[in-house]
Amino acid sequence: STQIQLIARPVGTPTPDDFRVVTEELPALADGEVRVGNEFISVDPYMRGRMNDTPSYIPPFRLGAVMTGGAVGRVIESAADSLPVGTPVLSFLGWRDIAQGPADQFTPLPETDLPLSAYLGAAGMTGLTAYAGLLRIAGLRTGETVFISGAAGAVGSVAGQLARLLGASKVIGSAGSAEKVALLKDRYGFDEAFNYRDGAVVDQLRAAAADGIDVYFDNVGGEHLEAALDVLNRGGRAALCGAISAYNTEGEPTGPRNMGNIVTRTLRLEGFLVGQHSDLQPEFAQRMAAWLSDGSVVFDETVVDGIENSVQAFLGMMKGANTGKMVVRV
C-alpha cells in the first residue's frame, strides 16, 4: 500500500520536499480488523497547523508517519462481522490508498445517491462546520444579513446556502477570483459577492452591505475579520471558523486593530471547533440529506487524481485552486 508521510516541518509555505511517498507491505488481517480501499482522501486547511510542532487542540503530525485525516472508501477484505466487504466507510487514517485496522476505526456510511466524496465535504465534516457555525455559534436569526469569507470553498459554499435556508434575508460572500464570484451569485445563491483581490475588503464589504451585517462567518481572518468588525451592526456576532490568510505566514500575522467596535457595538466573537459539536451530527445528517436530495443545497468538488498527488492537492487548496471541497481520488 502507498502512503504520504510528512518528513520535515515546513516554515511558511510547505513544499513537496517536506513530504515523501512510502510503499509498504500490509500484514494479514487480524481477527476484528478490516481492509479498506480508499476512494477519496481529504486535504484540509487545519492540516497546515498540524505540520508545526506547536501545541494545539490536535497533536502535531509525527515526522516519518502518514499524514492522517479524513478518507472514504469501501471494505475490500473483512475479519469483522460488523463491516462486511463492500461497506462504505469513513476513517481518519489519512493519505493512503489502503487503510487497515480494527473495525471500530471505521464509521459505516449510508448507501445513497451521493458520491462517497460528499462525506468528506458537504455531507460531512465541512458541511457540519457550516451548520454548527451559523446555527449554534452565530445564533443566526430570521431576516439577518450574513457575510461569509472563503465563500467559494468547502465550508463557505455550504455556509452561504445554509444561511439562506436558516432564515437570512441577505447573504454576502467574498472569494479570490472573478470566476468564483460569479459562482457565488449564479450557483450558490449569494445576493452580493466580491473578489477580495479587487480592492480593500472593508470598502467592498460596505458597498455590498448597505445596512451593515449581523453575522460574520470567518474562514479567513486578517483583513477580512478587521473589515467585518467595522461593518457588523450593533449586537452582531462573528463565528470564527478559521483564519487561512495566516496559516502559511511566518512571524506575527496581521490582525484586526479596531477592537473598540466590539465594545461600542456590543459584538460577540466566538471561535469554535467542529469536533466539539458532534452532538449536532444526527440532526445535521438528516436535514442535509433532505436539502441535498431536493436540490436546496448544491455542492462542488475539485478532484485531483492519484494518491501520489495529495501534496499538490493540499498546496493547491491553500492557494485557492479549488472550488468547493478539494479531494484526492485514489
Kindly list the residues in this chain that would bind ligand NDP in the complex (CB under 6 A).
44-46, 126, 129, 150, 152-156, 175-177, 180, 196, 219-220, 241-242, 244-245, 272-274, 317-318, 320, 322, 326
- Cβ nearer to ligand NDP, comparing 42 with 145: 42
**Closest separation between CB of residue 29 and ligand NDP, Å?**
33
Residue 277 cell numbers, joined: 459539536
Residue 19 Cβ vs ligand NDP, minimum distance, rounded to whole Å:
19
Q: Give the Cα separation of 297 and 295 in Å (integer).
A: 5
CA dihedral 111, 302, 121, 314 (to 10 degrees): 120
Residue number, 33 or 300, with CB nearest to ligand NDP = 300
Q: Cell 502507498 sits at which residue?
A: 2
Residue 23 CB, shortest distance to ligand NDP, in Å, is 28
CB of 118 to ligand NDP, least distance (A): 14
Q: Which is nearer to ligand NDP, 75 or 155 (CB)?
A: 155
The nearer residue to ligand NDP, 45 or 88, going by C-beta atoms, is: 45
C-alpha cell at 167: 432564515
Which CB sits closer to ligand NDP, 273 or 290? 273
Least Å distance, CB 227 to ligand NDP, is 12
- CA–CA distance, 173 with 216 (Å, rounded to integer): 10
Exposure string (b/e) for 259-291, b if CB count within 10 Å is 16 or more? Answer: eebbeeeebebeebebeebeebeeebbebbeeb
Query: Smallest distance, Å, CB 8 to ligand NDP?
Result: 22
Which of 110/271 has CB closer to ligand NDP?
271
**In this structure, which amino acid lies at residue 71?**
A
Nearest Cα to 249, choosing from 25, 5, 10? 10
Phi then psi dihedrals of residue 184, to 5 deg: -55, -45
Closer to ligand NDP at the Cβ: 92 or 272? 272
Distance from the Cα of residue 249 to its chain's centroid: 19
Q: Tell me the three state secondary structure of residue 278.
A: helix
**Which residue, chain included where needed, has cell 465594545?**
263
Q: How far is the CB of 89 from ligand NDP (least distance, A)?
A: 21
Tell me the C-alpha distance between 258 and 273, whole Å. Answer: 25
